[in-house]
């Protein structure tokens, strides 16, 4: 399916170019990769559709760009429940599950911006290449060893008055024993909350990817393949989310003082993850 309203746009510039990525990273590999495989990669990352959208809407920045992604690209809607109960003057870390791998983050940005326009979202270095969102995104490297500049930028974000949005799992939810849930939530967000005196708001977002995605992830794990090859399919999964209605539930803020005085960071990370999924059970 083509993106909403962008069927006939032919962008002059390739914002995303799969072939050029191979040419710049490993030109010798590009020479031996069959053309049909390059074409397949272009199709599953939706190079044509994304370039068409960026050609028309790439001038938008921040929340405006995110709204356009929801409205113009996917025709998606969301309902925000509990956001109105949060104190307007709070400095929060919004810790959410990560069911979709794209549209969930976009919807979370737009939803939180309704009450808190100043937002920062720590992301990996790949997403930093999305120029329309560079005013919101700040760099992290979940594998460690990120540069001094990145470390400074993330600390500045936590020290600021901006609201921090987080996917503590760092990876999209997986299906295990028939249940779709996040993998382990890393405790870094708990440590940051105490260090920077920010209360944590548990957030739950509805949604799921296709069975193909979960089967591929489980097969890859069964075969002992370390590379997350299923991640290549996340753009394709995102383009299966046309006309979605997402529900975003915001829980009660957890005071940083309580986190500091009771329990260890790992325990709190597990506890807040459970609070997140308990929100899904609320009518």
Same domain membership, residue 134 and residue 35: no
Q: How many structural domains does the chain have?
A: 2
Tens digits of per-residue pLDDT, 204-217?
Answer: 999 999 999 999 99
Whether residue 257 lies inside any domain: the answer is yes
Whether residue 42 is predicted with pLDDT greater than 80 in this model: the reply is yes
Scored b (16 or more CB within 10 A) or e, 63-86 reads: bebbbbbbebbbebebebbbbeeb
Neighbour-count burial of 115, counting CB atoms closer than 10 A to its CB (0-12 exposed, 13-18 middle, 19+ buried): middle
Same domain membership, residue 166 and residue 27: no
Whether residue 143 is predicted with pLDDT greater than 50 in this model: the reply is no
In whole angstroms, what is the distance from residue 184 CA to residue 176 CA?
Answer: 12
Whether residue 23 lies inside any domain: the answer is yes
CB atoms within 10 A of CB 113: 19
Same domain membership, residue 46 and residue 120: no
Tens digits of per-residue pLDDT, 12-32?
Answer: 567 888 888 778 777 887 788
Same domain membership, residue 123 and residue 251: yes
Same domain membership, residue 95 and residue 39: no
In whole angstroms, what is the distance from residue 61 CA to residue 59 CA?
Answer: 6
Query: Which residues lie below 8 Å from residue 259, measured CB to CB, with a gap of 6+?
Result: 190, 193, 194, 200, 268
Whether residue 68 lies inside any domain: the answer is no
Tens digits of per-residue pLDDT, 159-206?
Answer: 999 999 999 999 999 999 899 999 999 999 999 999 999 999 999 999
**Cα–Cα nearest to 187, from 273, 104, 252, 121:** 273
Mean pLDDT of 82-100: 95
Q: How confident is the model at residue 147 (pLDDT cuts 50, 70, 90)?
A: confident
Whether residue 65 lies inside any domain: the answer is no
Mean pLDDT of 141-165: 81
Number of H helices and E strands in the chain, helices first, is: 12, 9
**Cα–Cα nearest to 260, from 179, 202, 199, 194:** 194
By residue range, what is the domain housing residue 31? 1-57
Whether residue 104 is predicted with pLDDT greater than 90 in this model: the reply is yes
Same domain membership, residue 158 and residue 246: yes
Please report, for the domain that includes residue 239, its CATH number. 3.40.1130.10
Whether residue 45 lies inside any domain: the answer is yes
Q: How confident is the model at residue 33 (pLDDT cuts 50, 70, 90)?
A: confident
Query: Which residues lie below 8 Å from residue 47, measured CB to CB, with a gap of 6+?
Result: 14, 16, 17, 18
State the pLDDT at residue 8.
53
Percentage of residues in the chain with pLDDT exceeding 90?
A: 71
Whether residue 182 lies inside any domain: the answer is yes
Whether residue 94 is predicted with pLDDT greater than 90 in this model: the reply is yes
Whether residue 201 lies inside any domain: the answer is yes
Which range among 27-36, 48-57, 184-193, 229-238 shows the weakest confidence by mean pLDDT? 27-36
Whether residue 263 is predicted with pLDDT greater than 90 in this model: the reply is no
β-pairing, 163-166 vs 119-123, is parallel
Instruction: For residue 202, give the DSSP letter.
Output: E
Mean pLDDT of 78-107: 95
Same domain membership, residue 153 and residue 86: yes
């Amino acid at each position: 399916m083509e993106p909403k309203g962008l069927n006939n746009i032919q962008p002059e510039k390739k914002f995303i170019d799969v072939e050029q990525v191979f040419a710049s990273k490993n030109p010798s590999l590009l020479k031996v990769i069959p053309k049909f495989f390059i074409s397949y990669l272009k199709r599953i990352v939706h190079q044509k559709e994304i370039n068409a959208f960026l050609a028309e809407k790439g001038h938008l920045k921040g929340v405006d760009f995110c709204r356009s992604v929801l409205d113009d690209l996917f025709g998606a809607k969301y309902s925000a429940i509990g956001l109105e109960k949060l104190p307007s003057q709070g400095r929060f870390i919004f810790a959410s599950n990560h069911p979709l791998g794209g549209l969930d983050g976009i919807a979370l940005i737009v939803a939180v911006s309704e009450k808190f326009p100043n937002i920062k979202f720590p992301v990996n270095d790949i997403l930093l290449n999305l120029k329309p969102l560079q005013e919101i995104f700040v760099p992290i490297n979940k594998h460690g060893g990120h540069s001094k500049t990145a470390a400074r930028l993330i600390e500045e974000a936590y020290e600021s008055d901006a609201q921090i949005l987080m996917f503590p799992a760092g990876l999209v939810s997986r299906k295990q024993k028939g249940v779709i849930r996040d993998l382990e939530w890393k405790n870094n967000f708990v440590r940051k909350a105490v260090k920077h005196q920010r209360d944590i708001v548990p957030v739950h977002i509805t949604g799921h990817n296709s069975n193909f995605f979960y089967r591929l992830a489980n097969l890859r794990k069964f075969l002992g393949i370390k590379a997350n090859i299923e991640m290549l399919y996340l753009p394709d999964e995102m383009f299966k989310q046309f006309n979605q209605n997402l529900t975003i539930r915001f829980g009660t803020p957890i005071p940083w003082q309580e986190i500091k005085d009771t329990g260890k960071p790992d325990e709190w990370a597990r506890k807040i993850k459970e609070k997140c999924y308990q929100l899904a059970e609320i009518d």
